[in-house]
Chain A
Amino acid sequence: GAVVSQHPSWVICKSGTSVKIECRSLDFQATTMFWYRQFPKQSLMLMATSNEGSKATYEQGVEKDKFLINHASLTLSTLTVTSAHPEDSSFYICSARGLAGERNEQFFGPGTRLTVL
C-alpha cells in the first residue's frame, strides 16, 4: 500500500508551547488528508479533514484556532497544536487519501505521541 510518514513520532513539551506535526505522503499525491486523535482505550476520533489548497473542515468540538492545519501541497499536511495543555496529550494520527486510494481507503501515518507536561 501507499506510504505515509509522520514527524515527529513522539514529542514532550511544556504547557503553553506549540507543537507542529508533519504528515507526508511519500509515494502518492494526497488530495485529502485527515487528522485523528486517539486517547487511551478510545476509538480514533476525526479532528479535521483537509483538502490541498483549501481550508480544513473541523469536526464539531474541535477548536480550529487551537489546532491549526495547513495542507499546502499534495504531499504535506501539518497540524500545529497551539498553546498545548496536558489535556491535549494524546496519540495524533494522520491519514491520506488520493490517487492511490481506491474505494475511499485511507493510508495512515505511524502516529505522533504528544505528551504535554
Chain B
Amino acid sequence: RKEVEQDPGPFNVPEGATVAFNCTYSNSASQSFFWYRQDCRKEPKLLMSVYSSGNEDGRFTAQLNRASQYISLLIRDSKLSDSATYLCVVNAGYQKVTFGIGTKLQVIP
C-alpha cells in the first residue's frame, strides 16, 4: 500500500459545481497534513493546512479523519482558475514528508 494515495482523476466539473477530493495515508503516526496546488509545469504552492478540527478558507474546506486515516478537500462554487492538480501532503515527522500523486481538476465553462 502506498504511503499516500490519491485518485489522479481527472475530475471534470462545470463552473459553480462543488467537488471533493480524498486522500488516504498509511502511517498512523503522521502528524501534519497539507493540501498543495500545482499548476502545469510549476512548483507546488501551499493551499491550506489541515487541522484536526477541520478548517475553511473561503470556498475551500479541508478535513482530517484520523480514525479512517484520510484527509479531504472540498471546493465550492468552482472557478475556471481552480483548474490545477491538488497534492495531498503528509508529514510523518520533521523530516519525513510524502506527497500524493495529485488529483487533477479541470473546471469547464
Give the docked Cα–Cα distance between A36 and B100 (Å).
13
Please tell me if B32 contacts chain A, counting CB pairs below 8 Å: yes
CB-based contact A104/B43 at 8 Å: no
CB-based contact A44/B99 at 8 Å: yes
Number of interface residues of A (CB under 8 A): 23
User: Chain A residues near B31 (CB, 8 Å)?
Assistant: 104
Contact mask B67-103 → A, CB, 8 Å, 1/0? 0000000000000000000010001001101111110
CB-based contact A104/B46 at 8 Å: no
CB-based contact A108/B97 at 8 Å: no
Q: Within the complex, what minimum Cβ distance (angstroms) separates A85 from chain B?
A: 22
Q: Which residue of A lies closest to B101 (CB)?
A: A43
A-B contact count (CB 8 A): 45
A43 in contact with B97 given A105-B34, A111-B42 (CB within 8 Å):
no
User: Chain A residues near B46 (CB, 8 Å)?
Assistant: 1, 105-107
Please tell me if B54 contacts chain A, counting CB pairs below 8 Å: no
Please tell me if B66 contacts chain A, counting CB pairs below 8 Å: no
Q: Within the complex, what minimum Cβ distance (angstroms) separates A24 from chain B?
A: 14
**B95, B100, B101 — most chain A CB neighbours (10 Å):** B95
Please tell me if A34 contacts chain B, counting CB pairs below 8 Å: yes
Q: Which residue of B lies closest to A36 (CB)?
A: B99
Considering only residues 83-117 of chain A, those with a C-beta below 8 Å from chain B are 91, 93, 103-111, 113
Q: Within the complex, what minimum Cβ distance (angstroms) separates A101 from chain B?
A: 10
Give the docked Cα–Cα distance between A5 and B98 (Å).
22
CB-based contact A43/B102 at 8 Å: yes
Q: Which residue of B lies closest to A45 (CB)?
A: B99
Q: Which residue of A lies closest to B31 (CB)?
A: A104
Give the docked Cα–Cα distance between A24 and B46 (Å).
18
A residues neighboring B (CB under 8 Å): 1, 32, 34, 36, 42-46, 49, 57, 91, 93, 103-111, 113
B residues neighboring A (CB under 8 Å): 31-32, 34, 41-46, 49, 87, 91, 94-95, 97-102
